[in-house]
Structure 1
Amino acid sequence: MVLLGFILGLAVGIGFWIWQQVQLNRYLGRVLQPLSDSAKVTLPLLPRVRQEISTLKQQRQDLQKSLQTYQDILDFAPMGYLQVDEENQLLWCNQQAREILYLQRWQPGQVRLLLELVRSYELDRLIEQTRDRQKPQTKEWLFHPSCDNAAELPTIKSLALRASGLPLPNGQVGVFLENRQPLLDMNQERDRSFSDLAHELRTPLTSIRLVVETLQHRLEPPLSRWVDRLMQEVDRLISLVQGWLELTQIEANPNMQLQLEPVEVRSLIASVWETLEPLAQRQHLSLSYSGPEDIWVKADKARIYQVFLNLLDNSIKYSCPNTNIRVEAKIRFPEENHQHISIPSILEINLIDSGTGFSEADLPHVFERFYRGDKARTHSALTETNSLGSIVGNGLGLAIVRQILLAHSGSIKAMNHPDTGGAWMQVILPEVVANSQSQDYS
């Protein structure tokens, strides 16, 4: 009886142990199934476990090496990079970002809010916009670094920065930083050098012109033709020097002192056309105006006159013979305007010619200095004479126009007109101060 009980207990124990082994094998099989490369594995269970663990360790080492390689690349890159988590805590930044943002007090491994380390609300706002929109965002601003040491503050200069935010998984954001200050300093130094050179050139050019004027009255044809050509080139150089000096002066002082007064735009444009009409008659060009007859804007009359002088001069140069130059004016009101709210209106003036227009490659650059664009739009300028006092093209006219309009809080846009195929310049001027017919054109 005792022996039977012993055998029965032993059988129950062995059965329980076998059941545990079966359950353990099933559990390990379920755990290792995602890690298995094939459903048919002939290796025993424990060697499989050791092999998978070894594979995971190797993969982890490879990932750590790759991460370290990427960090080394970012550290070596000439552009700053930083990464924040979903709460805008700084996770990592490279050496360039430390130097640009003065992050010497931050050490790797620290987790601190970026705004505590860098007092830049523009950067913080860029990160928030990137995270909210889940699209890359770009922003430029003037960064004023902060420093704990008061003695170093006079030596710290503001920097012109451009930052590009990139959305990352789990609410993280990566930011690439570009220090644009050296480029701006180089451009300023270049402008100063050109301005100094232009100042030095004015006196000898004036002297040369006086000599040429004297020769013009003493020489007979055909020799006088060469003197006339020399006078044209001298005038072109004088115009170039004067235009450069004027442009650099406006750019150096964007908030220049403007002699603001009410200006009637229709009569101003008519006055400009009278000045340029001898040039227009060569190609049998006409001017048409449509829009209100009594439009007054608050502007510097001499500067706005120069704007339309440059624009209409360009239209004459690049228009086809026997065509019409259109000037269309209209008054626009902001969309948020209501009958019970008085909001200043703005003036939109469209100048449209029937020339060759701009190429698609030229459109983004037409307001850059010295940009002459497609040769197809310079055929008239290359053959024109200066006997009637025309404005000889030098690649600065549209750049000056843009700066003058910016000083008036206005703008200008270059396009190609869909009907005529020619150039379409759209000028926006704020501060419409008086207009007897404004209610008819709203």
Structure 2
Amino acid sequence: MHLLGFFLGLAVGIGFWVWQQVQLHRYLGRLLRPLTSHFYKMRLLLIPRLRQEIAMVKQHEQDLQQLLQTYQDLLNFAPVGYLQVDEENQLLWCNRQAQEILYLQSWQPEQVRLLLELVRSYELDHLIEQTRDSQKPQTGEWVFHRSCEDAAEMPTIKSLALRASSLPLPNGQVGVFLENRQPLLDINEVRDRSFSDLAHELRTPLTSIRLVVETLQNRLEPPLNRWVNRLMQEVDRLINLVQSWLELTQMEANPNMQLQAKAVELRSLIASVWETLEPLVQRQHLSFSYSGPENLWIKADKARIYQVFLNLLDNSIKYSPPYTNIQIQAKILSTKDNDPASPILEINLIDSGVGFSEADLPHVFERFYRGDKARSHSPQDGNSIGAIVGNGLGLAIVEQILIAHGGSIKAMNHPETGGAWMQLQFHEVMANSLSQDYS
């Protein structure tokens, strides 16, 4: 009896639980039926829009791919080389010009290899590392010696003078533009050789013309001899121009030219140059001042250094207003390591003329450069003293002479006088100058 009651109660409880679950599912069904219908309708509305967005993304991707291909085609036909490396200096891509310049015959566009494996150029690798480290554009120039796997082709491969401009890219990548400057250097070499040959050929007829003019000078009376004197001045000017051109060409072709180096006392040499230019000084009523050590001994070719100061002082005299002063300031500088055994002698030559324009300053040492008319013409033209004055080559020769002596020259405008400021530096200072002047 008890067992029957137990099973009857169990059956009633299970039945009641089943009834509750059925009622609950019915209630949830009635509750969710409107929402399910809404979501279904929303899905029907969103599917076309989603398909439209997907189509737009695909079209945008195609446009980007087409634009990328256009840029690659432009770079491929560009007259300069371009290459791009990743953060590990692996070559990702380069154009045709870069392949020709760097002789990348074995590289294929789908290959990713270390740039240093393909191009044996420490300078290029160092430029890329500098760009990545500084995150700033860099430039560099060097002579690239191309390598070749075929030994038979080695004699035909020529070294190239390259100029590179690099810029940092996202994700550690670096892009490099390469310019082959060798054709320009070859053209300049051919031009210089042609001018030198022409100058050699001109010397003989100019000498003959001068002899004829000298003969006419002795036979003509005033006022006819005035024209002959003028002709003599122009012939001398042409002879000086030819000689200066030959001299400059020889210096540039052989920077380590043979110098008759010996002890030279610079203070007295400058004084002798000033005495040579005394006629021009008196005409302009100019004065000269020197400040610095009295005994300045350097190891140099006396004739060449005399030529340097002759040209510089003559230019200062030309462009200085009357009754002004030309200054020469000398001092001995210590080196970066404060080594008394290797000091630097600095000489500043300052005038009170019109100075240089900012556009002319980077070019004043170029041959035949004519800048501001205020400094390219002087009433004393034609009366200059010395073989290198007034022909447009003087400052170029001065620079080459100083380079041959291991020195340098810089052109500026003095902030106080407003005139030209030439700063010379010599490294071969002798112990005679150091004993009392160097500290």
CA shift for structure 1 position 343: 4.3
Partner of 1:398: 395
CA shift for structure 1 position 384: 3.4
Judge conservation of contact 1:295–1:434 (CA < 8 Å) in 2.
Answer: no
Per-residue deviation, residues 4-40 of structure 1 (Å, max 9, x unmatched)? 7556457668989999999x99xxxxxxxxxxxxxxx
CA shift for structure 1 position 372: 2.6
Larger Rg: 2
Relative distance call for 1:429 and 1:50 in structure 2 (3 A) is: same
The 5 A counterparts of 1:28-427 are 44-337=45-338, 341-380=339-378, 382-386=379-383, 392-427=389-424
- Measured in 2, the distance between the counterparts of 1:332 and 1:420 equals 24
Relative distance call for 1:388 and 1:140 in structure 2 (3 A) is: closer
Judge conservation of contact 2:162–2:178 (CA < 8 Å) in 1.
Answer: yes
- Measured in 1, the distance between the counterparts of 2:359 and 2:43 equals 66
- Measured in 1, the distance between the counterparts of 2:37 and 2:420 equals 86
CA shift for structure 1 position 94: 0.3
Q: Which runs of 5+ in 1 are unaligned?
A: 26-40
- Measured in 2, the distance between the counterparts of 1:14 and 1:307 equals 108
SS across alignment from 2:146: coil
SS across alignment from 2:352: coil
Relative distance call for 1:74 and 1:335 in structure 2 (3 A) is: same
- Measured in 2, the distance between the counterparts of 1:194 and 1:388 equals 25
- Measured in 1, the distance between the counterparts of 2:34 and 2:250 equals 95
For the aligned residue pairs, the C-alpha RMSD in angstroms reads 2.6
Per-residue deviation, residues 289-343 of structure 1 (Å, max 9, x unmatched)? 1100111112222211111111111111111122221111000012331xxx544
Judge conservation of contact 2:277–2:385 (CA < 8 Å) in 1.
Answer: no
| TM-score, length-scaled by structure 2 | 0.90
- Measured in 1, the distance between the counterparts of 2:354 and 2:90 equals 55
Q: How many residues align?
A: 422
Per-residue deviation, residues 234-254 of structure 1 (Å, max 9, x unmatched)? 011001100100011011111
Judge conservation of contact 1:333–1:343 (CA < 8 Å) in 2.
Answer: no
- Measured in 1, the distance between the counterparts of 2:389 and 2:307 equals 14
Identity among equivalent pairs (%): 76
- Measured in 2, the distance between the counterparts of 1:133 and 1:387 equals 52
CA shift for structure 1 position 435: 3.4
CA shift for structure 1 position 379: 3.5
CA shift for structure 1 position 45: 2.4
Judge conservation of contact 1:294–1:437 (CA < 8 Å) in 2.
Answer: no
Relative distance call for 1:57 and 1:290 in structure 2 (3 A) is: same
| TM-score, length-scaled by structure 1 | 0.89
Judge conservation of contact 1:292–1:437 (CA < 8 Å) in 2.
Answer: no
SS across alignment from 1:246: helix
